[in-house]
Amino acid sequence: MIFTLLHFTCGRTVSVIYAVVNQMDMLFFIPLALFYDWIQIPIFGILLEQSTSRLKVLSWLKKRVNKAMESMENKAFLRRIINLGDIGVILVSALPIRGFGILSGSILTFFMKKGRKEGSFLLLTGSLMGIFITMALATSAMDLIKGYIR
């Protein structure tokens, strides 16, 4: 329950760190985190499509999408990632850094005019990589902390 709340409120990075710290079974939380990211892809896709049309969307969701779009346009680092094409989409959705993740990756695939299947595949690939990167970082940090405590 806490894992789910963290995933949808704080993001994949926080939920995976929580799972590692609490020694949850990897065979449980890895597929669950991937599933939760998979659920978000069509939601963000619909929001992006509607944000460019005249249909009314919940205002707070539309503001969040527009804010993320503006943020991506203003960051030189993200412009370089966009130039990487498909690898850039995977990186944006994988990196465990604030401002990256499924929403940013969805916006990037939208800008790059990727189809739903191709975009979803790239985003889920990045999500899986992001889960493993976060697990590795959290496990390493825990090992360092345990080493200093002894």
Instruction: For residue 122, name the pLDDT band (cuts at 50, 70, 90).
Output: very high
Q: How many CB atoms lie within 10 A of CB 41?
A: 21
Q: Please calculate the CA angle 98-48-74 and round it to the nearest 5 degrees.
A: 45
Q: What's the DSSP call for residue 68?
A: H
**Torsion 115-117-118-121 (CA) sign:** positive
Which phi and psi angles does 83 have, rounded to 5°? -65, -15
Q: Is the pLDDT of residue 54 over 60?
A: no
pTM, entire model = 0.78
Q: Report the distance separating Cα 82 and Cα 86, nearest Å.
A: 8
Residue type at position 150 = R
Mean of pLDDT values over 104-110: 85
Q: What is the percent of the chain with per-residue pLDDT over 70, rounded to a whole number?
A: 85
Inform me whether the pLDDT recorded for 57 exceeds 70.
no
